[in-house]
């Protein structure tokens, strides 16, 4: 079998159900799911000679590092604070190039805020997975059909493959359909500014909205 190198990039991290999804894919710099295994009691022998073998207990956490966004009342840090100690569904896709989709429910906790003055701040997160965790491959990934404005905005449906750049966004429906506000854009599959684009009210244009 040839070497396969997987990377966490151009992925999805969202919370909530399909009717009320909060997508924070553009905030994390590190995301991972980590299992742990603990002994679940020693082996026990009963009077008749039957035995209960020693067992293992499995648990998972969804963890990572996020760029601080406490300036944004709709941001990841505010979401975690507002929903702290609540159990919410999550979806994590390491990349849209063939990686599996991880899903389940996690117990959110508030994140640390603040740090060194006038530097780029990050905050680590670690959420316990509640119940079973799912890992599945989508063998029929779909191309994006819509885009919501933001800084950056999001592609729809969630987890879909975005166009490379503005020139390739020929079949993308913009939301809103009016000209996007200054600074709003979506990121195409091309990395960096070359993949940024916005809706000017009539067409997709490269870069952030002026």
135-182 pLDDT tens trace: 988 655 678 899 999 999 998 887 678 999 999 999 999 999 999 999
Domain count, the chain: 2
CA distance 186 to 149: 7
Q: Is residue 5 part of a domain?
A: no
Provide the mean pLDDT of the chain: 91
CA distance 11 to 123: 19
3-state secondary structure of 189: coil
Q: Is residue 61 part of a domain?
A: yes
The arithmetic mean of pLDDT across residues 83-105, rounded, is 93
CB 29 within 8 A of CB 15: no
Q: 131 or 39, which is more confident?
A: 131
Residues 116 and 160 in one domain: no
* Half-sphere exposure at residue 172, Cβ-oriented, CA atoms within 13 angstroms: 36
Q: Residue 55: is its pLDDT beyond 80?
A: no
Q: Is residue 106 part of a domain?
A: yes
| Alpha-carbon distances, residue 102 vs 60, 89, 177, 191 (angstroms) | 12, 11, 32, 24
Residue 36 has a pLDDT of 94
* pTM over 0.85, yes/no: no
Q: 146-148 and 173-175 as β-strands: parallel, antiparallel, unpaired?
A: parallel
The arithmetic mean of pLDDT across residues 44-50, rounded, is 86
Instruction: To the nearest 10°, report the CA torsion of 63, 66, 71, 72.
Output: -70
Structure tokens that stand for 131 in this block: 């119940």
Q: Residue 25: is its pLDDT beyond 60?
A: yes
Residues 202 and 108 in one domain: no
CA distance 191 to 208: 14
């Amino acid at each position: 079998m040839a070497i396969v190198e997987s990377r966490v990039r151009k992925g999805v991290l969202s919370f909530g159900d399909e009717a009320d999804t909060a997508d924070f894919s553009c905030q994390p710099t590190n995301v991972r799911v980590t299992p742990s295994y603990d002994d679940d009691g020693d082996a026990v022998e009963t009077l008749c000679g039957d035995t209960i073998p020693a067992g293992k207990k499995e648990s998972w956490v969804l963890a990572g590092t996020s760029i601080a966004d406490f300036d944004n009342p709709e941001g990841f840090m505010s979401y975690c604070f507002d929903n702290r100690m609540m159990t919410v569904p999550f979806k994590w896709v390491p990349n849209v190039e063939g990686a599996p989709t991880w899903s389940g429910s996690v117990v959110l906790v508030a994140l640390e805020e603040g740090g060194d003055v006038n530097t780029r701040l990050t905050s680590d997160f670690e959420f316990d997975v509640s119940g079973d965790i799912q890992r599945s491959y989508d063998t029929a990934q779909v191309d994006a059909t819509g885009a919501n404005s933001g800084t950056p905005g999001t592609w729809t449906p969630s987890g879909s493959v975005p166009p490379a750049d503005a020139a390739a966004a020929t079949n993308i429906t913009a939301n809103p359909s009016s000209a996007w506000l200054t600074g709003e854009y979506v990121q195409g599959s091309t990395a960096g500014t070359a993949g940024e684009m916005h809706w000017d009210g009539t067409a997709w244009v490269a870069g952030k909205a002026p």
